[in-house]
Amino acid sequence: MLKITLFSVGWLLFVVAQAQNSVRSTSNNLTGWEGWMCWLRLQAVNLATRAFFSGIFYGYLVQLVTTKIHDAGLAITSASIVGLAGYTSNALLYQIFGLFPFLRVEVQDLAPPNNQTKNGGPSK
């Protein structure tokens, strides 16, 4: 149970970092809690797909990360490996699914930025 929890925490950590980067970006108008919720709604299918495939390939992903870490000569605990596997599986699937147009979400197109200059004032 601990390993599944750590895998999930690693997986969710990637999602939270991705959402934070999108909400803080000036390329869209997502701000605050509403921005987080909007981002989650826009990414729902993508996140569900990544979660599904991460779950299916859980054992393979953990073994792959274990092999890579041991090949690099690092000796870390299995719990650490599982957490890294969760994070990297989400990152890997994010990159792979970005190749499929029906899974790609262009936040800046769906929530375009306001007309603001760099210093926050209205553009002229």
Whether 69 contacts 84, CB under 8 Å: yes
- State how far the Cα of 52 lies from the Cα of 76, in Å rounded to an integer: 27
pLDDT digits (tens, 9 = 90+) for 9-59: 999 999 999 888 888 887 777 788 888 888 888 888 888 988 998 888 888
Predicted confidence (pLDDT) per residue in 57-66, tens digit? 888 888 888 8
CA distance 42 to 54: 20
Domain limits of the chain? 2-110
What is the pTM for the complete model shown? 0.70
